[in-house]
A and B are shown apart, each in its own frame.
Chain A
Amino acid sequence: TQLLEQSPQFLSIQEGENLTVYCNSSSVFSSLQWYRQEPGEGPVLLVTVVTGGEVKKLKRLTFQFGDARKDSSLHITAAQPGDTGLYLCAITSGSRLTFGEGTQLTVNP
């Protein structure tokens, strides 16, 4: 059973469109992280959400932590080709980092 389920798994959109990626679990987390990874590189941390209901913005990216701290979403406004990549949510257990299934986003010019 996957601890963190992400949807959609694959997403291909046109430049300028908006999109939302979801990360869900049946467990409650003290915090949740979002990463973006490009091919052949390590993941890069985008944000950490800690408080239930918390909303954080990073330019055109909006991250939300569910009120019950079981789920999170990532919304991208006016997507650009440079947003293409693998988006991963992740949680920590002790010092271990466990990733969700990932969402492969392709933004076409």
Chain B
Amino acid sequence: DAGITQSPRHKVTETGTPVTLRCHQTENHRYMYWYRQDPGHGLRLIHYSYGVKDTDKGEVSDGYSVSRSKTEDFLLTLESATSSQTSVYFCAISSGRAEAFFGQGTRLTVV
């Protein structure tokens, strides 16, 4: 498996609190992605990165921010978590015009 690790794997947090999810890779891939997966909605792109400090919004970016200060780490932050952000979050990495490798996912519950 590609060297990609998500942390934490599970988290329960309260509404209104900030939450940061981490994606760490050891493959030196340029492109990194954050998705959320909800029943009936497939995988929806939140934000993606095409290099250090280079990020762009996906289709469901409201309420989320990201940072990529080094190649190996891509952080997803929920500034003030809401119940609608309860989901499974996947990070993916890619070298470009090739396959993407996914992390194991983070199950986030906002109560």
Our verdict on whether A and B bind, yes or no, reads: no
Write the residues of chain B forming the contact surface with A, with a CB cutoff of 8 angstroms. Answer: none
